[in-house]
Structure 1
Amino acid sequence: MRNISLSKNRRRARRTGLLLGTVGTLAFGSALAAQETLVVGRSMDVNSLDPSRAFCDTCQVYLTAVYEPLLTLGEDNKTLVPKLATTWENNDTFTEFTFNLNPDAVFSDGSPVEASDVVWTFERLRNLKGSPSFLMDGTQSIEAVDTHTVKIIVEAPNSEFLNKVSAPYTGIMNAEAAMAGGALADESAATADGAEGWFLENSVGSGPFVLTNYAPEDELRLTANSAYYGTAPGFGEVVITQIQDSVSQAQALETGSIDIAMQIDADTAKNMNNPDVVTEIVPSFNFVYFAFMPGSEAMKGKLTPPVREALTYAVDYDGMIEFTVGGNGNKIAAPIPNGFPGTANLMPRSQDVEKAKSMLADAGLGDGFTMEAVYPNDNVYGVDLNIMMQKLQQDFAQVGVDVTLKPVTYPVWREDMANGRADLTAVYYAPDYYGSGQYAAYFGMTEGSTWVSRAGYKSPETVVNAKEGEIYAAALAASGDAADAKYEELAKELMADNVIIPLVSPNLVLAHRSDIQGVRYSACCNLPLAEISRK
């Protein structure tokens, strides 16, 4: 860690006296909080608890509670507000960014949060090559100017970089503690880092909670951080417990077994008449989509651009919203959420069965063909993926395409995606920050992107769209209306790819016991646990 560990240890020792001076206040606050446990029910989709590898909805909730990014989103879900950085600035070309850290910030072991920890965290995020590594793409240098100042230079203009460092996956880690657990940040990290298992049992953040226990497909248990330098959370313990479906979550909420249910659908919510339960339906930036896999062994030469376009006309988009969420959702044109830059003027897709049949006939597939759909067996945002795919199966059957449904667990799904063992899939996406660039990076058909690797598999040429990289770069070099115009152009290219097809942006049901307050939807962080308390 560039010879900083000794000086950091000396500063930790000096800080010990300060911590002892405030321990009475901390203990008092923790004692009050420790009387309460918050229980949250949801279907857990955890792929990792390593901040540089995690990439899921439950991960967002966990990371936001345990780690802190430099910036975060305000309650309007658009405005950036301070977190570990108290102030920040950038140059006019969006290539240099400077952050000034809160000098009072400490990790859960009491050691100070320093610029060197930020440098190490961001370098590890970039070099590990995990799912969230795109957040550090294009960083040229990450420098600790002094103990509490970080300067980052990017290779090309990036007007979204400040938004990127508000993502929960950029939460700052205690570098010294993480390295002791086997974590690496240098260029060998992608192959030599051995800390993923360690992070399942340990946390090294500065957030209001620390990890106590994780049991896959069972529970994720957090305890209030007694060394937290900010406002103490309202609960001494938080338990996120595995409850698979909407009805089961509703039953647990009504009986008082849980305090918050995160995935109750609108239809179930309508039937809840318990005075001890509060439900509120709010719009979200989340969406559920299906995706074609033209590079799969069975689809090579078959899922051509005209065939993909034809199949998009087979889908009953309006009926899909009614079928999946009882009308409590919205159509979404491109794989960029409604309300994000570039989406205001987009026209959603519509069904035209006769056009679909005609285009399939022109492609020599008038007699239809068979596809296998592999997707997670899950309920997300109130959408049961099985029900959604049954509806899609019916729609495709109208044009002679027979779809076999194969719901699987998340580990099996990830393995199948990595090995080209699906012709069709379905999954979901929630924003990591407010900004359309993340969708270009994730869904864009640019060389080496996540979905080129998945959908193209060993034949990336079946899906690559070189124009999207150029448009994305132009969007990042612009700001305001000019950036919006470029993101609109990009969104139209993503639609023309006909690979990622959004089906519904569900409204969210915020459901909790009536004595719980502070529950809200966050576009970056899903459910900010530290804001929740009991009346």
Structure 2
Amino acid sequence: MTLGADNKTLEPKLAASWEHNENFTEFTFNLNPEAVFSDGSPVEASDVVWTFERLRNLKGSPSFLMDGTQSIEAVDAHTVKVTVDAPNSEFLNKVSAPYTGILNAEAAMAGGALADETAATADGAEGWFLENSVGSGPFVLVNYAPEDELRLSRNDSYYGTAPAFAEVVITQMQDSVSQAQALETGSVDIAMQIDADTAKSLDTPDVVTEIIPSFNFVYFAFMPGSTAMKDKLTPQVREALTYAVDYDGMIEFTVGGNGNKIAAPIPNGFPGTQNLEPRAQDVEKAKSMLAEAGMDSGLEMVAVYPNDNVYGVDLNVMMQKLQQDFAQVGVEVTLKPVTYPVWREEMAAGTADLTAVYYAPDYYGSGQYAAYFGMTEGSTWVSRAGYQSPETVLNEKEGEIYAQALAASGEEAAAKYEELGRELMADNVIIPLVSPNLVLAHRADIDGVRYSACCNLPLAEISRK
């Protein structure tokens, strides 16, 4: 399935239809019998089973999409049945995520891919996948050069509507100005990382720009279980420090006002966020709470974060602003921007007291944020923020609310996600700072450019007028 243009509705793609039982524990997918892989071989239920099992058993970050799958079976050549161990009203949305794209099992196995329980340690196909296409989508891989370009060509075996372009080249350009210049000269047709200020300089009828809200956000996180912060970043101290932050000023400082505040680590517009009130600065309250917590003599922290610019937000600029805000309440922050590999090492080693990073949705649904940001046993951020002292951040109530949300649907589920959002805010561990607006910029003769919550830019919909 895929996500429709409204960024909420699921639409058929490889699955021509689907259904589920009343309590959301059994899901049946009926495959399009005309679907074929890029080599012309038919897409069969066994390929779906193999792909889902591999995703689950790789134990990588996207494996959460298959969490709780009890059985994945091929009923016949074009029917797949998935059974989960607890109600999961978001499972259909999960299957719209790009990570769940179905692979040609036979070809992938020939390239060294594994789907059994040894996949996490024995699968050796990563390099092979970077050079080969084994999917059934509208494009196939031609070439991938890390930090340079990704080159795709039209899949002549595609069973759906053929893309308008025979070739798509995605080129990496680090800064917004370079992208704008390339767009103006016509050397590129679409630019995806132009900030709003630079977009204002594009004064030519040959270029079209549109500024829209996005579902992406950038946040900072406290690390109460770090080697230096245990017994210092208590719940009261964390809450106090959230009052020190100039949230309105942060929007101006980072994106020139072209963004929105966000209350909980769930994107604005996702289920459960409508009634959540964003945080507000109160410096005097921050000072008072720090004094009550015995921290009136000051606190020193080291902020370790990726040296990156994401969605037009320079993390260095954002953290400099946070450094200034914390200094107003007697907290000294040393900034340590690093590469992503080093950042991951420091997260694993528990040496950061404070960090900053970003999140973009994998699909439309609030459950992914509960799974990732929830302070429940074994979650990503309990491991990071709690390090060897998970009790400093654990909130088991969130697991209960999440389960209740997955067992519900519609307004009932949204009410549970609102309750969960309030708990995530009360944790005072993950603090969203800005949800940047997205600039869609393209040549005037390009049609079909839109923002997708699951897929960023649906390439197959783009054409030239």
Letter in 2 for 1:522: S
Aligned equivalent of 2:312: 382
Aligned equivalent of 1:273: 203
- Correspondence for 2:373 among 443, 452, 474: 443
Aligned equivalent of 1:414: 344
TM-score, normalised on structure 2? 0.98
- Asked whether the equivalents of residues 246 and 379 of structure 1 are also in contact (C-alpha less than 8 Å), the reply is no
Q: Distance in 1 between matches of 2:171 and 2:228?
A: 39
SS at match of 1:172: coil
User: Residues 481-533 of structure 1: CA distance to partner in whole angstroms, max 9, x if unpaired?
Assistant: 21111111110110011111011111110011112111100011111111112
CA shift, 1:85, in A, is 0.3
Letter in 2 for 1:389: M
Q: Distance in 2 between matches of 1:128 and 1:271?
A: 46
TM-score, normalised on structure 1? 0.85
- Asked whether the equivalents of residues 287 and 504 of structure 1 are also in contact (C-alpha less than 8 Å), the reply is yes
Aligned equivalent of 1:82: 12
Aligned equivalent of 1:364: 294
Aligned equivalent of 2:281: 351
Q: Distance in 1 between matches of 2:102 and 2:64?
A: 16
Q: Distance in 1 between matches of 2:188 and 2:297?
A: 51
Aligned equivalent of 1:525: 455
Aligned equivalent of 1:513: 443
Q: Distance in 1 between matches of 2:159 and 2:282?
A: 58
CA shift, 1:417, in A, is 2.0
**1:391 partnered with 2:335:** no
| Segment drifting more, 246-255 vs 276-285 | 246-255
Q: Gaps spanning 5+ residues in structure 2: where? A: none
Letter in 2 for 1:206: S
| Segment drifting more, 330-339 vs 215-224 | 215-224
Q: What are the residue-to-residue correspondences of 1:422-433 with 2, within 5 Å?
A: 422-433=352-363
CA shift, 1:348, in A, is 0.8
- Correspondence for 1:125 among 55, 62, 70: 55
**1:325 partnered with 2:272:** no
Q: Distance in 1 between matches of 2:132 and 2:39?
A: 12
Q: What are the residue-to-residue correspondences of 1:59-74 with 2, within 5 Å?
A: 71-74=1-4
Letter in 2 for 1:113: V
CA shift, 1:413, in A, is 2.1
User: Residues 7-29 of structure 1: CA distance to partner in whole angstroms, max 9, x if unpaired?
Assistant: xxxxxxxxxxxxxxxxxxxxxxx
Q: Distance in 2 between matches of 1:431 and 1:261?
A: 20
- Correspondence for 2:172 among 242, 246, 253: 242
Aligned equivalent of 2:185: 255
Q: Percent identity?
A: 88
Q: Distance in 1 between matches of 2:344 and 2:140?
A: 28
Q: Distance in 2 between matches of 1:194 and 1:296?
A: 34
CA shift, 1:416, in A, is 2.3
Letter in 1 for 2:42: P
CA shift, 1:251, in A, is 1.9
Q: Distance in 2 between matches of 1:370 and 1:533?
A: 54
Letter in 2 for 1:232: A
- Asked whether the equivalents of residues 382 and 506 of structure 1 are also in contact (C-alpha less than 8 Å), the reply is yes
Q: What are the residue-to-residue correspondences of 1:90-239 with 2, within 5 Å?
A: 90-239=20-169
Q: Distance in 1 between matches of 2:306 and 2:179?
A: 19
CA shift, 1:293, in A, is 1.3
SS at match of 1:474: helix
- Correspondence for 2:219 among 289, 293, 314: 289
SS at match of 1:340: coil
SS at match of 1:109: coil
Q: Distance in 1 between matches of 2:264 and 2:220?
A: 12
- Correspondence for 2:244 among 314, 317, 323: 314
Q: Distance in 2 between matches of 1:252 and 1:393?
A: 35
User: Residues 248-279 of structure 1: CA distance to partner in whole angstroms, max 9, x if unpaired?
Assistant: 22122222222211111111111221222111
- Asked whether the equivalents of residues 244 and 378 of structure 1 are also in contact (C-alpha less than 8 Å), the reply is no
Q: Distance in 1 between matches of 2:99 and 2:404?
A: 25
Q: Distance in 2 between matches of 1:192 and 1:112?
A: 28
Letter in 2 for 1:482: E
Q: Distance in 2 between matches of 1:322 and 1:94?
A: 43
CA shift, 1:415, in A, is 2.5
Letter in 1 for 2:395: N
Letter in 2 for 1:135: L
Letter in 2 for 1:154: V
SS at match of 1:524: coil
CA shift, 1:420, in A, is 2.1
SS at match of 2:423: helix
SS at match of 2:50: helix
CA shift, 1:412, in A, is 2.3
Letter in 1 for 2:346: D
CA shift, 1:356, in A, is 0.8
CA shift, 1:367, in A, is 2.1
Letter in 2 for 1:378: D
CA shift, 1:419, in A, is 2.4
| Segment drifting more, 327-336 vs 405-414 | 405-414
SS at match of 2:402: helix
- Asked whether the equivalents of residues 417 and 454 of structure 1 are also in contact (C-alpha less than 8 Å), the reply is yes
- Correspondence for 2:413 among 471, 477, 483: 483
Letter in 1 for 2:27: F
Aligned equivalent of 2:426: 496
Aligned equivalent of 1:4: none
Q: Distance in 1 between matches of 2:387 and 2:337?
A: 20
| Segment drifting more, 270-279 vs 116-125 | 270-279
- Asked whether the equivalents of residues 139 and 155 of structure 1 are also in contact (C-alpha less than 8 Å), the reply is yes
CA shift, 1:421, in A, is 3.0
Q: Distance in 1 between matches of 2:403 and 2:111?
A: 37
Q: Distance in 1 between matches of 2:457 and 2:342?
A: 27
Letter in 1 for 2:99: Y
Letter in 2 for 1:447: E
Distance change (3 Å), C-alpha of 1:212 and 1:412: farther
CA shift, 1:325, in A, is 1.5
SS at match of 1:375: strand
SS at match of 1:222: strand
Letter in 2 for 1:226: D
SS at match of 2:174: coil
SS at match of 1:416: helix
Letter in 2 for 1:499: V
Q: Distance in 2 between matches of 1:517 and 1:409?
A: 37
- Asked whether the equivalents of residues 278 and 513 of structure 1 are also in contact (C-alpha less than 8 Å), the reply is yes
CA shift, 1:346, in A, is 0.8
Q: Distance in 2 between matches of 1:385 and 1:514?
A: 32
User: Residues 189-236 of structure 1: CA distance to partner in whole angstroms, max 9, x if unpaired?
Assistant: 111111122222222111111112212111112122122111111222
**1:456 partnered with 2:386:** yes
- Asked whether the equivalents of residues 263 and 379 of structure 1 are also in contact (C-alpha less than 8 Å), the reply is no
User: Residues 65-107 of structure 1: CA distance to partner in whole angstroms, max 9, x if unpaired?
Assistant: xxxxxx1110000001001000100111111110000011111
Distance change (3 Å), C-alpha of 1:90 and 1:508: same
